[in-house]
Amino acid sequence: MTTIAPKMPKSWRTETKPHKFCPGCGHGLVLKALGEAIDELGIQDRVVFGCDIGCSLLSWDFFNVDSVQTHHGRTTPVVTGVKRARPDRICIAYMGDGGGYAIGAQHLVNAASRNEKITAILVNNCNYGMTGGQMAPTTLPQMKTETTPYGRDPEETGYPTQGPEMVAAITRENAYVARGTIANVRQLKGYLKKALQNQIDGNGFSFVEALSSCPTNWSMNAKETWAFVEKTMPEYFKIGELKAPAKKEEKIDV
């Protein structure tokens, strides 16, 4: 039997494919959009990619770009440290919702406040995937997880974190903030490209949240999973650009 390999972004590392994410996991799609964005911007040789703990760590050898896997929540400071020391590099911090909105929230908030010229990409799948499906800051009301077995009760544990809204609120006009979804990879890629372009232009912080799937921990089949991503999640997490820097004059690519 022969199989036809799917078309991969040029910046993907073929030696590490197929990747290690669960079937139906959205990380692959986010990383595909990111790979294409890197390809189209022609920055593969300049990217430094940092990934967090949690499922995002499985991307540590995903690309043919220099990469470092850090600690839970600490990707933002590591990547910030790289960017401050090497401003000529395009620095990407790749993390999950737990890493960005819980354990590493102070880093995300302060990197945004300081307008660090890095790009943070946060994959929102409404739970802690790697550790077995606990409640995340982004778990939806009534959603069942291992630590909310009767469903998340907002009276007890509040409402899902509105990450991009928060980042947009604390950044100035030179930041780029958007929320995309794996349900629309084309659009997501567009957001990622703009986010990276914002860094390339030296404008400031850029942040993209990507709504994603976790059928393993959600205990859903393919159809249910897709419906959840496409319909349920956007009811709480609005898709779109929250902050786009005012158009600058065309810059010469370096």
Q: Rule CB under 8 A: which residues touch other proteins? A: 11, 13, 44-46, 48, 50, 53, 57, 60-61, 63-71, 74, 76-86, 89, 106-107, 109-110
Comparing CB distances to other proteins, the nearer of 83 and 179 is 83
The nearer residue to other proteins, 79 or 167, going by C-beta atoms, is 79
Q: State the DSSP string of 181-200.
A: EGGGHHHHHHHHHHHHHHHH
What's the closest the beta carbon of residue 232 comes to other proteins, in angstroms? Answer: 31
Residues counted in the chain? 254
Please, what is the minimum distance in Å from the beta carbon of residue 109 to other proteins? 8
* Least distance between other proteins and beta carbon 77 (Å): 4
What is the distance between the alpha carbons of residues 246 and 237, in angstroms, rounded to a whole number? 24
Cβ contact 208:178 at 8 Å = yes
Closest CA to 212 of 241, 196, 193, 188: 188
Within 5-141, strands assigned E span 47-51, 66-69, 90-96, 119-124, 127-128, 134-135
* DSSP code for 46: G
Least CB distance from residue 35 to other proteins, whole Å?
A: 12
Q: Closer to other proteins at the Cβ: 48 or 214?
A: 48
**61 versus 165: smaller Cβ distance to other proteins:** 61
Strand segments (E) across 70-205: 90-96, 119-124, 127-128, 134-135, 176-181
| Closest approach of other proteins to the CB of residue 172, in Å | 18
CB 253, min distance to other proteins, A: 16
Nearer to other proteins, 80 or 162 (CB): 80
How many C-beta neighbours within 10 Å does residue 81 have?
13
Looking at the Cβ atoms of 83 and 189, the one nearer to other proteins is: 83
